[in-house]
Structure 1
Amino acid sequence: MNPYNTPVLPQPWWRTTPAVLALLALVALIGALSFGFGFLVMIAAVVAVWVLPRWRWFTKAGATFGALVLLTVGAGLGGQLDDNGTAKSEAVTQNKGSDSVKAASPSPSPKALEAADYTEKPLDEAVKLARSAGFTTAHHDAAEEGRTVMVRSLWTVCFQKVDTTAETINFAAVKDDEPCPEKDGGPLPWPVMPEVVGATYDTALKDLKRAGIDLDSVQLDDVYLDLDTPTAEEAAEDGDEWRVCFQSPDEGTDVTSDTAVSLDLGRWTDVDLVQHCPKAKDTTYDIPANDPDHDSGNSTTGGAGSTGGSSSSSSGGSSGSSSGSSTGGGSVGTVHPGSFCSPQGATGVTKAGTPMICGPASDGRNRWHS
């Protein structure tokens, strides 16, 4: 059998050129109906172009580009038909609607927006709620200073001005720790410091509260150098025994959010040796013998002189070589641990009955210790 005379077998129909071209044409048709489905058909057509026919590579590349063009054209025609159909549908709807309007009575005007009450809310929250309700917002300082609002979350709404026609709300706010003025643009009504010097601690608290001052911000100090400062709870336990010796600020001063209110307290009863406030701060001792300048030689509690010499105690006792020295002793009664003391070597007891002695501490000064 001569191989040169062997007839060529016919190809299957689906591998013929007409079949592939028909598949490419199907890309345009399906793309006009559905772009997504047409895209999938285009992928299948491209694969068929490169696998099925016995075309040269540049022919296959041209057919691939043609498939993309056919999909674009088909999708464009489909979109054009859809747009026209939509336009016609809208036109019919509008015509029907206009006919209905002619036959029916005029419809009412749109309902005006209603604003909620946003006062006492944080400014940032009020702005968010108002905008979600359909309003355009603005804000400014409610105080007379006309300050610029920098961080809305740190301001609180005092007043609001609503314009339902323009659908706007203008908020007037102050800082979170400030009181609202009586009217927009007015002065801030800060509380005024009352005069509490000479009053008991209980009375002073009542006067401060009546003036509108936050009691939690009041700081306490003790005018006695040999006693620790009481806490608010400790002072309240014996509020009629503690007296206000000094105050800050002075009477008539505005107490703003930056003002530090402090009370210097002294405590005494009928049995205490000191029953009055000092003339200045940090110059008095609850127990006079604790005062370094106190002359223990004139004390009725005993002990040696604090400045040396031959002075003797009025309570009697032998005077030795150390009786005039600064290390003389003697009992001074009830003392407070850690407080300054004099003279060195003096003895005392705490309120709990623990014996104490006056001697040098870590800071080099004489303090009471056990």
Structure 2
Amino acid sequence: MNPYNTNPPPSRPWWKTTPALLGLLALVALLSAVNLMLGFLVMIAAMVAVWVLPSWRWYARLGATFGAFFLLLFGAGMSGQLDDDQAGKPEARSGGANDAKAGTTSSPTTASAPELADHTGKALDEAEKDARAAGFTPSHHDASVEGRSIIMRSIWTVCFQKADVTAESVAFAAVRTGEPCPTKDGGPLPWPTMPDLVGDTYSTAVEELERAGIDLDSVTLDDVYLDIEAPSAKGAAEEGDEWHVCFQRPDEASEVTFTTTVHLDLGRWTDADLVQGCPTEKNTTYKIPANDPDHHDSDDSDGHGNGTTRDGASSASDSSSSSGGGSSAGTVHPGSFCSQPGATGVSKTGKPMLCGPGSDGRNRWRSS
């Protein structure tokens, strides 16, 4: 090489440059979106050009080859040319020997129009699949006023459908599964509102929740007294007139959506109980004062064997047994907390109870 040669190297033709080849690859996606066959021919030309014209390394040429094929599929898929909508359409009958024998002829004007079943209440993806099989082209949108985008069709449920038999198309209006359908397409979601349950028995509260359209599976139960255990839904239902709603969340008139958890805090009493009311705050009061670790006989004894609870209700005071084996707490609730090991009591059914360590290590009323 002559070091004194300052002439620039000869330039390559524009159609052999890298920008020209990249433009040819981009043309594959553009033309395949218009016509799949035309895009396929341009893809073949682009692959040949990649391996013949530029001075690329072998792995760059291989990557460009796969890229051309991907662009073909991408362009055709975006334009819907790869959809299998036509696969489920019924085939048109053609006249043949059998028709001639029967003395009938078939024509496009006498062919029956395709029919579409009612898919209201079904999953959106299944509805669109059935619509394609019936020969319809489906579309979808949010049935509510919110106008949300539908990404995963399997978690949306059809509320309305509007079919155009002439165009063989159907539009589905859907909401997320678990949401209520609006009264009309594009209307607001009619979420149920929370009723006022404070003061009701559990049985009455369940009836009001069902009347309001609130799913009982979204309801959780808790107790309000420190010495009363929260019931299960089954247990509260069996004794529905003994459990009373003291607090509720959400408040009255609040919307209850499918993500809302309804909390009911219950207190339990019957006509035979001395305390028949809710505490001012949750988990602050012992329903049976003798269960309070800070409870003392002198605090509520009036000298006649009776006392007054923190809620102003009378209760039987503890009295020492002649044998020195503990004190008597009167009527107690099985399983509730107690403070004096060895103390005795009776359940509301008259069953003898004894204060002793429970499975959690804390003193509870147990069958003696």
TM range (shorter): 0.5 to 0.7
Q: Could you say which residue in structure 1 is the equivalent of 2:124?
A: 123
Is 1:147 equivalent to 2:148 in the alignment?
yes
Distance 1:233 1:298, change over 3 A: same
Number of matched pairs: 250
1:167 Cα shift?
1.6
Q: Could you say which residue in structure 1 is the equivalent of 2:247?
A: 246
Q: Deviations over 1:276-334 (max 9, x none)?
A: 1000111222312112233322445979xxxxxxxxx9877699xxx9xxxx9411124
The alignment partner of 1:236 has SS state of helix
Distance 1:315 1:187, change over 3 A: closer
Q: How much is the aligned-residue C-alpha RMSD, in angstroms?
A: 3.3
1:333 corresponds to which letter in structure 2?
Answer: G
The alignment partner of 2:147 has SS state of coil
Question: Which structure: greater helix fraction?
Answer: 1
Q: Could you say which residue in structure 2 is the equivalent of 1:274?
A: 275
Q: Deviations over 1:341-361 (max 9, x none)?
A: 2245533345573541256x6
User: Are 2:317 and 2:329, in contact at CA under 8 Å, matched by a contact in 1?
Assistant: no
Q: Deviations over 1:141-189 (max 9, x none)?
A: 1122222222222211001122223221111111121110111121110
1:109 Cα shift?
6.1
> What are the within-5 Å matches in structure 2 for residues 313-332 of structure 1?
329-332=326-329
> 2: CA distance between counterparts of 1:191 and 1:216?
15
1:258 Cα shift?
0.5
User: Are 2:220 and 2:262, in contact at CA under 8 Å, matched by a contact in 1?
Assistant: yes
Calculate the TM-score normalised by the size of structure 2.
0.60
The alignment partner of 1:275 has SS state of coil
Unaligned runs of 5+ in 1: 1-103, 304-312
Q: Could you say which residue in structure 1 is the equivalent of 2:193?
A: 192
1:242 Cα shift?
1.9
1:190 Cα shift?
0.6
Q: Deviations over 1:198-223 (max 9, x none)?
A: 11222212211111112233222221
> 2: CA distance between counterparts of 1:316 and 1:140?
74
> 1: CA distance between counterparts of 2:148 and 2:108?
47
The alignment partner of 1:124 has SS state of helix
1:233 Cα shift?
2.8
User: What fraction of aligned residue pairs are identical, expressed as a percent?
Assistant: 62
Q: Could you say which residue in structure 1 is the equivalent of 2:332?
A: 335
The alignment partner of 1:137 has SS state of strand
The alignment partner of 1:170 has SS state of strand
Distance 1:112 1:355, change over 3 A: closer
Unaligned runs of 5+ in 2: 1-104, 307-315
Q: Could you say which residue in structure 2 is the equivalent of 1:289?
A: 290
Distance 1:205 1:314, change over 3 A: closer
Higher Cα radius of gyration: 1
The alignment partner of 1:197 has SS state of coil
